[in-house]
C-alpha cells in the first residue's frame, strides 16, 4: 500500500519564493536606456578638432539612440576641467566625455587627475596628424620647412608656437619637433585649438602645430601654409597640394612619429553594463555613417572606429608615448611609472 506524501513548505519560505520569482524574471531584462536627453561634454571651445568630431558623432548617435544628444563646451586646463566634470557626475551614461585621447593621456603625469584610461570605457572614432602650419598669403614668413628650420636655428627660443595648452595635441606636436631638431621654441598657450589657429592666421604667433583637421579649410583657401605633417610620408589632402612629411627635412624625428590626435568618447568604467552596451551599439552605427565618413575625408582625418579592448590598447600606447615624452622633456614632473605606463621600445 503506497503512502501519500504531503509536501509542506513553511509559510515564510513560500511567501519568499512568490516574491523572488517575479523579481528574478524582471532582473533579466535591463531597464530601458536612454529615457532622457544625453549630453556630451567637449572640454575645449567650439571649432577645434574634438568639438568638430564630437558634433558629427553626436548627430548620428542621437539618431541611433532615438534621443537628443547635446554637445556642451567646457574648456580649461588643457581639457581636464570638462573631463573631470563628467567624472564627478552620476555614472549613468547621460553625461559622456569627449576628448582628444592624446591630450587625455597626459592628464595623470601632468597632475590633473589620478585617473587613467584604465578607469574609463573608451571609444575611438577618428585620427588626424599634427601639421606644422604658418600664416599664408603675401605676408607668409615661411614658404617651406627649411625656412622655418633656419629661423629656429638663428633665433632659438624666440620663434612662437601657439597651441591649445600644455599637454594638448598641438603642444605634443611642438614638443616632438623640438625633440627632433634639438632646438627650443617659445610656447604660447591658448584656450583651445580654434583660438590658437586664429593666432596663426593673424600673425600673433609664428607657427601653429595643431592637428591638420583643424586647419584644412584655411590651407585649401591659401590663408595658411602647411610646411609638413608629423608623419614619415606625405599627406594627400583633397583640394590642396600634398603636404610634405617632416622626415624629409628633420630625419631624426622619425622615432617619435606618427604624431597626431585620436578623437573619441568615454564613460566611467562603473557605468551600468546595459548603458555601455547601448552606447557601444550607437557608436558603431555612427562611425559607419555617411556623415562621419564624409566629415573625416573633408577634414584630413581617417575613421578608426575602435571600441572595447582595441580602444584600450590604442590609448594604452598613447599614454606611454605621451607620458614619457612629457616626462623626459621636463614638462611633466610625475613619473609615468607611478601609473604603470611602460616605455615603448
Name the percent of the chain lying above pLDDT 90. 69
Residues 164 and 247 in one domain: yes
Residues 268 and 188 in one domain: no
Report the pLDDT averaged over residues 299-307. 91
Report the pLDDT averaged over residues 99-110. 92
d(CA 126, CA 260): 11
Q: Which of 222, 256, 290 is the last residue of a domain?
A: 256
**Backbone Cα Rg of the chain:** 25
Q: Inform me whether the pLDDT recorded for 140 exceeds 80.
A: yes
Residues 138 and 243 in one domain: yes
Domain count, the chain: 2
Does residue 215 lie in a domain region?
A: yes
Place of cell 515564510: 12
Residues 145 and 239 in one domain: yes
Segment 248-256 long-range contacts (CB within 8 Å, at least 24 positions apart): 248/145, 249/145, 249/146, 249/149, 250/145, 250/149, 250/177, 250/180, 250/181, 252/180, 252/181, 252/182, 253/176, 253/177, 253/179, 253/180, 253/181, 256/176, 256/179, 256/180, 256/230, 256/321, 256/325
Residues 226 and 207 in one domain: yes
Query: How sure is the predictor about 20, in pLDDT bands with cuts at 50, 70 and 90?
Result: very low
pLDDT at residue 329, rounded to an integer? 76
Report the pLDDT averaged over residues 313-323. 89
Q: Inform me whether the pLDDT recorded for 157 exceeds 60.
A: yes
Q: Inform me whether the pLDDT recorded for 196 exceeds 90.
A: yes
Does residue 241 lie in a domain region?
A: yes
Answer whether 304's CB lies under 8 Å from 53's CB.
no
| 218 alpha-carbon distance from chain centroid | 22
Does residue 146 lie in a domain region?
A: yes
pLDDT digits (tens, 9 = 90+) for 24-73: 444 578 899 999 999 999 999 998 889 999 999 999 999 999 999 999 99
Does residue 23 lie in a domain region?
A: no
pLDDT at residue 285, rounded to an integer? 98
Q: Inform me whether the pLDDT recorded for 22 exceeds 80.
A: no
Answer whether 41's CB lies under 8 Å from 187's CB.
no
Residues 284 and 201 in one domain: no
Chain mean pLDDT for the chain: 89
**Which CATH number belongs to the domain containing residue 171 in this structure?**
3.40.190.10
pLDDT at residue 345, rounded to an integer? 66
Query: How sure is the predictor about 16, in pLDDT bands with cuts at 50, 70 and 90?
Result: very low
pLDDT at residue 9, rounded to an integer? 43
Does residue 3 lie in a domain region?
A: no
Residues 245 and 270 in one domain: no
Answer whether 88's CB lies under 8 Å from 103's CB.
no
Residues 72 and 92 in one domain: yes
Query: How sure is the predictor about 172, in pLDDT bands with cuts at 50, 70 and 90?
Result: confident
Does residue 84 lie in a domain region?
A: yes
Q: Inform me whether the pLDDT recorded for 142 exceeds 80.
A: yes
Q: Which of 212, 237, 256 is the last residue of a domain?
A: 256
Residues 290 and 306 in one domain: yes
Does residue 286 lie in a domain region?
A: yes
Answer whether 181's CB lies under 8 Å from 198's CB.
no
Phi, psi (rounded to 5 degrees) for 176 = -65, -40
Q: Inform me whether the pLDDT recorded for 281 exceeds 80.
A: yes
Q: Which of 230, 256, 282 is the last residue of a domain?
A: 256
Q: Inform me whether the pLDDT recorded for 256 exceeds 90.
A: no
Where in the sequence is the domain holding 306, given as residue range(s)? 38-128+260-339
**Which CATH number belongs to the domain containing residue 48 in this structure?**
3.40.190.150
Residues 230 and 136 in one domain: yes
Residues 252 and 268 in one domain: no
Residues 75 and 113 in one domain: yes
Amino acid at each position: 500500500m503506497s503512502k501519500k506524501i504531503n509536501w509542506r513548505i513553511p509559510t515564510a519560505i513560500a511567501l519568499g519564493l512568490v516574491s523572488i520569482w517575479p523579481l528574478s524574471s524582471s532582473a533579466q531584462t535591463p531597464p530601458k536606456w536612454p529615457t532622457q536627453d544625453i549630453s556630451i561634454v567637449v572640454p575645449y571651445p567650439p571649432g577645434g578638432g574634438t568639438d568638430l568630431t564630437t558634433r558629427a558623432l553626436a548627430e548620428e548617435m542621437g539618431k541611433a539612440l532615438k534621443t537628443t544628444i547635446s554637445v556642451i563646451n567646457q574648456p580649461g586646463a588643457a581639457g581636464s576641467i570638462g573631463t573631470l566634470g563628467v567624472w564627478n557626475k552620476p555614472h549613468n551614461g547621460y553625461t559622456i566625455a569627449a576628448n582628444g585621447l592624446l591630450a587625455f593621456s597626459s592628464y595623470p603625469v601632468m597632475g590633473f587627475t589620478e585617473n587613467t584610461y584604465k578607469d574609463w570605457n573608451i571609444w575611438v572614432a577618428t585620427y588626424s596628424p599634427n601639421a606644422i602650419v604658418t600664416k599664408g598669403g603675401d605676408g607668409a614668413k615661411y614658404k617651406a620647412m627649411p625656412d622655418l628650420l633656419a629661423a629656429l636655428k638663428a633665433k632659438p627660443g624666440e620663434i612662437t608656437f601657439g597651441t591649445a595648452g600644455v599637454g594638448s595635441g598641438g603642444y605634443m606636436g611642438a614638443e616632438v619637433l623640438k625633440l627632433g631638431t634639438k632646438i627650443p621654441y617659445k610656447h604660447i598657450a591658448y584656450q583651445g585649438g580654434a583660438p590658437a589657429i586664429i593666432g596663426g592666421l593673424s600673425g600673433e604667433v609664428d607657427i601653429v602645430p595643431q592637428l591638420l583637421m583643424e586647419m584644412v579649410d584655411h590651407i585649401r583657401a591659401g590663408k595658411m601654409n602647411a610646411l609638413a605633417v608629423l608623419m614619415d610620408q606625405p599627406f594627400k589632402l583633397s583640394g590642396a597640394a600634398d603636404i610634405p612629411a617632416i622626415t624629409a627635412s628633420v630625419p631624426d624625428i622619425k622615432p617619435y612619429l606618427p604624431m597626431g590626435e585620436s578623437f573619441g568618447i568615454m564613460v566611467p568604467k562603473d557605468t551600468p553594463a546595459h548603458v555601455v552596451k547601448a552606447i557601444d551599439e550607437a557608436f558603431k552605427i555612427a562611425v559607419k555613417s555617411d556623415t562621419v565618413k564624409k566629415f573625416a575625408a573633408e577634414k584630413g582625418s581617417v575613421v578608426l572606429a575602435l571600441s572595447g579592448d582595441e580602444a584600450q590598447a590604442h590609448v594604452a600606447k598613447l599614454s606611454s608615448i605621451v607620458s614619457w615624452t612629457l616626462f623626459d622633456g621636463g614638462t611633466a614632473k610625475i613619473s609615468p611609472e607611478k601609473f604603470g605606463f611602460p616605455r615603448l621600445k
